[in-house]
Amino acid sequence: FSTRVGIVGAGPAGLMLAHLLDRAGIDSIVMEKRDKDTIHATHRAGILEAATVRMLTETGVDGRVLTEGHEHRGTVLRFQGESHRIDFQELVGHSVWLYPQNEVFWDLAAARERDGGDVRWSVTDTEVLGLDTERPRIRFTDAQGTPCEVRCDVLVGADGSQSICRRAIPEHARTDNFVEYPFAWFGILTQAPPSAPELIYANSEHGFALISSRSEEVQRMYFQCDPDEDVAQWDDERIWAELQRRVDGPDGLRLQRGPIFDKTVLKFRSYVCEPLRHGNLFLVGDAGHTVPPTGAKGLNLAFCDVRTLAPALVDFFRSGDDTGLAGYSAAALERVWKAQNFSYWATNLLHAQPGENPFHQKRRHGEFTAITSSARGAAYFAECYTGWPED
């Protein structure tokens, strides 16, 4: 069979693109190797920029983000036990929303179902072919075991950081830019009340910790750990002691404890593929670039790609105008590199480097003070965190 846009990957980026194309009357088929419940159960970040929220509410996906999400008008940066609030509204006039990415996925999947979108879950053996031709193809085996081939005009790789689409681009035709970090995050979910009204990004001599939330009953927290940390070595008591000592301070901040029901180690990586196009293949979201989780930019960046690519595809299919498609990679990359910089910078500002000496710690404290003691410094953080105005 055939379609105009073949989308590999039904995460938030792929589903949002299919949704926007559908609204413009352009058909697509989305192929996904996982099933819906597996993706829904995969915990990712929870902070949405205002522009991301608008994409959900103004395009008719679902309004749950407004009823179940929480507006955060600021955040707390904590250094050596002292909290400094960054007031987003006062500094840059924006808020962010705490609404977990797996719920964004769920809303988008429901919208595809409601609108009769073609999404093939649990496919295997996916292959993309003929990227350089007018009619690229996707081969896969569907959930019933039937081999299929979809011919399309345009292929979109929205298949995450392990993207098969990206790997189908010949090596000589792409540049892989990446750095790794000597640490990771140990992430937990706990059945407990919130410990604070806003997120706390904490740096301490024992390393970084992030206190976030999912609801009144469930909290999300992370602490910096070794990339090879084994979660089995950590019982609840040890985890709580580690988290607590990273936020300890003269104000007596106490974390609200409860049973821990999920533990995972998240690897840190920064990566950008250049360009984000090869022939008739376009990369969006993590397939084209990955950020470390510190600034919660991953999903927001993926939606920005989609916001650039969707109208370009609409122009192309409506009037044959390919100016938008020709400019997609450069336009998306400009934003990607800004977000890469912020994610890298915030990561290094807030984490302790293994083996660092007192000079590095004190320099970092100087940088931290330059941000928190100055309205201009704080506004820089606030602008990056809430999303750049031109987006």
Do residues 305 and 284 make contact, with C-beta atoms less than 8 angstroms apart?
yes
Q: Which of 201, 222, 271, 328 is catalytic?
A: 201
3-state SS class at 4? strand
Establish whether 362 is a catalytic residue: no
**Which part of the chain contacts ligand DHB (CB under 6 A), choosing from 23-31, 43-51, 108-116, 281-289?**
43-51
Establish whether 385 is a catalytic residue: yes
**Which part of the chain contacts ligand DHB (CB under 6 A), choosing from 80-88, 237-245, 289-297, 335-343?**
289-297
For the window 184-213, what string marks contact with ligand DHB as x by the rule CB under 6 A?
Answer: ---------------x----------x-x-
- Partners of 150 in the β-ladder: 138
For the window 151-190, what string marks contact with ligand DHB as x by the rule CB under 6 A?
Answer: ----------------------------------------
3-state SS class at 328? helix
Main-chain phi, psi angles of 389, to 5 degrees:
-55, -35
Q: Which of 19, 72, 278, 351 is catalytic?
A: 72
Question: Is 351 a residue that touches ligand DHB (CB under 6 A)?
Answer: no
Task: By CB under 6 A, name the one of 156, 296, 332, 336 that touches ligand DHB.
Answer: 296
Do residues 103 and 64 make contact, with C-beta atoms less than 8 angstroms apart?
yes
Establish whether 297 is a catalytic residue: yes
Sheet holding 96-98, edge to edge: 47-49, 96-98, 70-72
Establish whether 263 is a catalytic residue: no
Q: Which of 70, 271, 293, 351 is catalytic?
A: 293
CB of 193 to ligand DHB, least distance (A): 16
Q: Where are the beta strands (DSSP E) in 118-259?
A: 118-120, 124-129, 137-141, 147-157, 175-191, 200-203, 209-213, 218-225
Main-chain phi, psi angles of 282, to 5 degrees:
-120, 135
Task: By CB under 6 A, name the one of 10, 21, 29, 45 that touches ligand DHB.
Answer: 45
In 3D, which of 116, 182, 138 has the Cα closest to residue 352? 182
d(CA 122, CA 327): 33
Question: Is 6 a residue that touches ligand DHB (CB under 6 A)?
Answer: no
Q: Which of residues 219-278 bind ligand DHB (CB under 6 A)?
A: 220
Query: Nearer to ligand DHB by C-beta: 33 or 220?
Result: 220
CB of 311 to ligand DHB, least distance (A): 29
Q: Which of 12, 297, 328, 351 is catalytic?
A: 297
């390919």: which residue's tokens? Answer: 322
Establish whether 36 is a catalytic residue: no
Burial of 93 (0-12, 13-18, 19+ CB in 10 A): exposed
Catalog residues that contact ligand DHB under the rule CB under 6 A. Answer: 45-47, 199, 210, 212, 220, 293-296
Residues with a known catalytic role: 72, 201, 293, 297, 385
